[in-house]
Structure 1
Amino acid sequence: MNIDRLLQQHNQGGESASAIPPLDEWQPALSGDININIDTDGHWWHEGKPFARPKVARLLATLLRLDADGYCLVTPVERWRIQVEDLPLVVVEADFRDDAWWFTTQFDNVVRLDAEHPLTVTLTPQGDAVPQLPVRFGLAARLHRNVYYQLVEACESRDLGDGTNEVGLMSAGQWFALGKLDDELSGEAP
């Protein structure tokens, strides 16, 4: 995969830096593994060193999808597998407007929290329960700690009737749970 050639083609095409090509239409055979790693914080590394040009990581993120054999960078003629420690994207901003939560990743992907893009709580490689959100082509984004705290401040509590309360929020007419509290933690009498 010639990154300089990709950057040149991208710049000549006049495409937006965050434009996502039709990766689902491209089905080249696996070309092999490439020494690119995305760490748990969403930072991109090549051969053990951080990407020197953020523009390269931004471009490659537009070519990323999750296939049956792993995370792959895909062009019409190549498909290279990379390593991802947790999830490849990180939600760095949240905004509530038009009766829905809207999330923005580190590469300016904007996703509406709705039935198609539900918020779920999953475990990180370190064993922490942290929300994630599907974005595109099998990719998901982990919520950055600051965004998670912003959502916690906006949360509502619902009594489940079994001695627990669920905390979560509404978005696009749907309820999305962030966790549960038992009566002792929620301050209610049993």
Structure 2
Amino acid sequence: MDLSRFSQQINAAVDEKEQSLPPVDKWDPPFCGELDLTIKLDGSWHYQGSPIARQPLIRLFASVLKKQDEQYFLVTPVEKVGIQVEDVPFIVTQWEQQEDGIRLTTNVDDSFMLSSNHPLSLRLPPASLCTTDDTAIPYVCVRTNLWARMHQNVYYQMLEAASSRVRGDIRQWYVTSEFEPFIIGEMPAQ
């Protein structure tokens, strides 16, 4: 599978003037094999072991990313290729408190409000990120079945702005966005 040929197919399928994402959920092309492309734990994209430096190309590929079951694919209307993802495809790299909620931005410039449409979930990270106490960290749903892990700096900044409460024997830290509380951390109450 050739990366440049696949990129040309995406460009042909996606109107660059459109602001919305392509309808990948409606595309069900035949599987055409694996592409030697990996999204690393740090959110960087690598083709044949080398990092992809062109951010517009990464954003283009991210726009046609799809997850089915536990497998990730890049899809066009005419073909689907498998790729590898070490954890999740995106990293939340920025956040901003706005009047009605919290706006999050990923490493591929997806921007959205933390909400019931883009919920937050505490999960154990991959073993290489785990600390000795196996603390769950926040992940956010970016779009259909595609999640982002919160970057450590963003997480610590949000913890500073979070409110705290005790529920049973658990202390929870939460932020409110679009009038809904989202738990961003918890530990045993003392």
- Structure-1-length-normalised TM-score: 0.86
Report the CA distance between 1:69 and its aligned residue. 5.6
Using the alignment, how far apart are the partners of 1:8 and 1:67 within structure 2? 21
- Paired amino acid for 2:4: D
Aligned in 2, Cα 1:167/1:9: closer, same or farther, shift over 3 Å? closer
CA contact (8 A) 1:18 1:62 kept: no
> 12-21 or 96-105, which moves further after superposition?
12-21
Aligned in 2, Cα 1:14/1:81: closer, same or farther, shift over 3 Å? closer
Report the CA distance between 1:18 and its aligned residue. 6.8
Query: Which string of whole-angstrom CA distances, capped at 9 and with x for unpartnered residues, describes residues 65-103 of structure 1?
Result: 101261000000000010000000111110111321110
* Corresponding position of 2:90: 89
Query: Which string of whole-angstrom CA distances, capped at 9 and with x for unpartnered residues, describes residues 40-76 of structure 1?
Result: 1110011111114332222111110101261000000
* Corresponding position of 1:119: 120
- The aligned length equals 183
Which of 163, 175, 190 matches 2:181?
175
* Corresponding position of 2:100: 99
Using the alignment, how far apart are the partners of 1:79 and 1:172 within structure 2? 36
Report the CA distance between 1:9 and its aligned residue. 6.7
Report the CA distance between 1:111 and its aligned residue. 1.7
**1:144 matched to 2:151:** yes
Report the CA distance between 1:11 and its aligned residue. 8.6
* Corresponding position of 2:4: 4
- Paired amino acid for 1:4: S
Using the alignment, how far apart are the partners of 1:183 and 1:139 within structure 2? 32
Aligned in 2, Cα 1:152/1:81: closer, same or farther, shift over 3 Å? same
- Structure 1 residues without counterparts, runs of 5 or longer: 185-190
Query: Which string of whole-angstrom CA distances, capped at 9 and with x for unpartnered residues, describes residues 1-36 of structure 1?
Result: 554353587399761597521101110121111110
Query: Which string of whole-angstrom CA distances, capped at 9 and with x for unpartnered residues, describes residues 142-174 of structure 1?
Result: 1111110111011101122x3432111111111
CA contact (8 A) 1:131 1:143 kept: yes
- Paired amino acid for 2:141: P
- Structure 2 residues without counterparts, runs of 5 or longer: 131-135
- Structure number with larger C-alpha Rg: 1
CA contact (8 A) 1:41 1:90 kept: yes
Please give the residue correspondences for 1:14-53 in structure 2 after superposition, counting only pairs within 5 Å.
Answer: 15-16=16-17, 19-53=20-54
Percent identity over paired residues: 36
Using the alignment, how far apart are the partners of 2:72 and 2:10 within structure 1? 23
Using the alignment, how far apart are the partners of 2:189 and 2:14 within structure 1? 58
> 15-24 or 99-108, which moves further after superposition?
15-24
CA RMSD across the alignment? 2.3
Runs of 4+ in 1 over 4 A off after TM superposition: 11-14, 16-19
